[in-house]
Amino acid sequence: MSKGRWTIKRITVKTRGRNDFVDITSLVAEEVEASNIQRGFCTLFVPHTTSGITINENTDPNVIRDIEVALERAVPWTGDYRHFEGNSAAHVKASLMGFSLQVPIADGRLCLGTWQGIYLCEFDGPRTRDVWIQLFAG
Ligand code: ZN
């Protein structure tokens, strides 16, 4: 069993369209800074099946636009799908992005690369989504 300290928080994200990448970096950074954890790691978990989470560039917005276009090309909304809800493309894209991330915490801050941002990835919106943040000290 770990002797480390951990906390869990939940943030809520409103998405704006069927497909939407929402930059949640500052919301996550606020939780890390409020925790007073100096060193450890931050696990982010998306408890959904048609939205995911990823890290990518948050400087040139065309990077996210290009990812969205490439995903749409790779996994079109209509196709040879059997899932009764009719949103198979959203399930596939969510799995491609993944449902959790881990980011180091150093000097009390989220330790991301210069060009990196954290994105909640919506594929069947607009909806209200949850992101669970688990912070570990140690
Ligand atoms: Zn479904």
- Domain annotation for the chain: domains and CATH numbers: 22-137 (2.60.120.460)
At residue 33, does pLDDT exceed 70? yes
Rounded distance from Cα 88 to ligand 1 centre (Å): 6
Q: How far apart are CA 89 and CA 38, in angstroms?
A: 40
CB 53 within 8 A of CB 100: yes
pTM above 0.85, yes or no: yes
Rounded distance from Cα 83 to ligand 1 centre (Å): 7
Rounded distance from Cα 77 to ligand 1 centre (Å): 12
* Burial bucket for residue 137 (CB in 10 Å: 0-12, 13-18, 19+): middle
Q: Facing residues of 10 across strands?
A: 132
Rounded distance from Cα 91 to ligand 1 centre (Å): 7
**pLDDT confidence of residue 4:** 60
| Half-sphere exposure at residue 94, Cβ-oriented, CA atoms within 13 angstroms | 20
Rounded distance from Cα 36 to ligand 1 centre (Å): 39
Q: Mean pLDDT over residues 65-83, rounded?
A: 97
- What Rg do the C-alpha atoms of the chain give, in angstroms? 16
